[in-house]
Amino acid sequence: MNQRANLKLSGQTAIVTGGSSGIGKACAKALGKAGANVLIDFVGNPAGAEEALTEIEASGGKGMIFKADVSREEEVRALFDAAREAFGTVDILINNAGIQKDAPFVDMSLKDWNFVLNVNLTGQFLCAREAAREFLRRGPRPEVSVALGKIICMSSVHQLIPWAGHVNYAASKGGVMLFMKSIAQELGEHKIRVNSIAPGAIKTPINRMAWKTPEAEKELLKLIPYGRIGKTEDIARIAVWLSSDESDYIHGETIVVDGGMALYPGFRDNG
């Protein structure tokens, strides 16, 4: 008997955007190991996406890698076409691709403002819209999931916590919060389940400067009551759970996974 048939996400297909590094790569691997076929989107360097695919295949799973810039409508369409062609449909979107382009506010260029908003917010719009269209086109498949489809937006604690020097990033993640809730409100009646994950500080290339020296790491730890920097697997586990029927009644919610970073740790010593 095929043992993978009993896995939590068997028979489903997931797209993970920005899947060649960091959180996206870990999500791709975890979804693949949970039984899903995984389409790993990347821009630039395919090596990380290939590594994730190799690991999924070694565990008996299936997937493919595909190059698409989430901020470009035609490339997002091509990404979903590729998933349909390879696996028939899409059941899960991990809307993960994201970037930072930091600068003091008065020095921030329009180019860098637009770049971050285009990837972090417009990219999530384009991918989620394409996913919802595919879920509605395909119709229910109760044999694989109670929901018609699942969309998981990778937000950040900075959907809540203002971030000086990173206003484009914080604005994009604040935007993701109400984007996610609004589409959850609109798509719920179709049984399309939409949620976000808001990571705190997770060790990945996006925030290397914050942990690459012992001094930087010590400073960062002051912001994390639980006393450790997050690992990509901390997020991937939640992504698998939110993708599965185990979380079926969670809809329009953000799960903050941050070791307590959003608990105003500056107030620990009486403010």
Closest approach, Cβ 229 to ligand NAD, in A, equals: 8
Q: Indicate the residue among 79 and 147 with the shorter CB distance to ligand NAD.
A: 79
Please say if 169 is a catalytic residue: yes
| Distance separating alpha carbons of residues 76 and 97, to the nearest angstrom | 12
The catalytic position among 169, 226, 249, 264 is: 169
Three-class SS state of 14? strand
Which positions ≥6 away from 177 have C-beta within 8 Å?
155, 159, 160, 196, 254
Closest approach, Cβ 49 to ligand NAD, in A, equals: 8
Closest approach, Cβ 5 to ligand NAD, in A, equals: 31
Q: How far, in whole angstroms, is CA 235 from its chain's centroid?
A: 9
DSSP symbols for 100-168: -----GGG--HHHHHHHHIIIIIHHHHHHHHHHHHHHHH---TTT-SSSEEEEEE--GGGTS--TT-HH
Given the rule CB under 6 A, which residues bind ligand NAD?
17-18, 20-24, 41, 43-44, 69-71, 96-99, 119, 123, 154, 156, 199, 201-202, 204-207
Name 186's bridge partners: none
Q: At what angle do helices 22-33 and 47-58 cross, to 10 degrees?
A: 20
Closest approach, Cβ 26 to ligand NAD, in A, equals: 8
Q: Indicate the residue among 193 and 203 with the shorter CB distance to ligand NAD.
A: 203
Is the separation of the CB atoms in 90 and 80 below 8 Å? yes
Which residues are designated catalytic?
169
